Amino acid sequence: MPGFSDPVLILSGDELDELRRRSVSSHARYYDAMVADLASRFDDLPPEGLWSLEEPDYSDNLEICFSLVVNAGIAYHVSQDDRWLSLASRWLEQWVSEGTADESKVKGSYLVGFHVMALAYGLDLFG
């Protein structure tokens, strides 16, 4: 059995496909709930097309960074091995720089709310 210091791929191709489908599904649930909540705060109906937002080009990179930060953080807390902390720190830096490339695109994306919460969670992992 591999130790915590030997990262290995533990998912098969089928499991990765299922994980991708679940990720898309959970994004949709989060997005729909956020739209409903924000729409309920308007006195009038929101402008037509307000929620027709395209996912930004850098979205996949944000997802990869998020997964690596959280998983490396969990591995660090389980193993107390500083190599995991270093890995998570490097990807956290990449994550932050990835999301700030174009401020107008960032502000226009529904993913911002999700990633702000996820970033707070990632930072909380490291105190």
Residue 108 pLDDT exceeds 80: no
- Give Cβ neighbours of residue 19 (< 8 Å, ≥ 6 apart): 11
What does the pLDDT average to over 98-114? 56
From CA 34, how far away is CA 49, in angstroms rounded? Answer: 15
End-to-end CA distance of the chain: 30
pLDDT at 68: 76
Q: Where are the domains of the chain?
A: 13-47, 56-127
**Residue 92: pLDDT band with limits 50, 70, 90:** confident
Statement: residue 69 has pLDDT above 70? yes
| Cα separation values, 99 from 49, 87, 96, 111, Å | 24, 19, 5, 10
Prediction pTM value: 0.38
Higher pLDDT, 112 or 68: 68
pLDDT over 90, % of the chain: 0
pLDDT score for 48: 67
Average of per-residue pLDDT across 81-96: 78
pLDDT at res. 118? 66
Q: Which two tokens stand for residue 14?
A: 């089928």
Q: Is the pLDDT of residue 105 over 60?
A: no
- Taking the C-alpha atoms of residue 96 and residue 99, their distance in angstroms, rounded to an integer, is 5
Averaged pLDDT, 38-45: 65
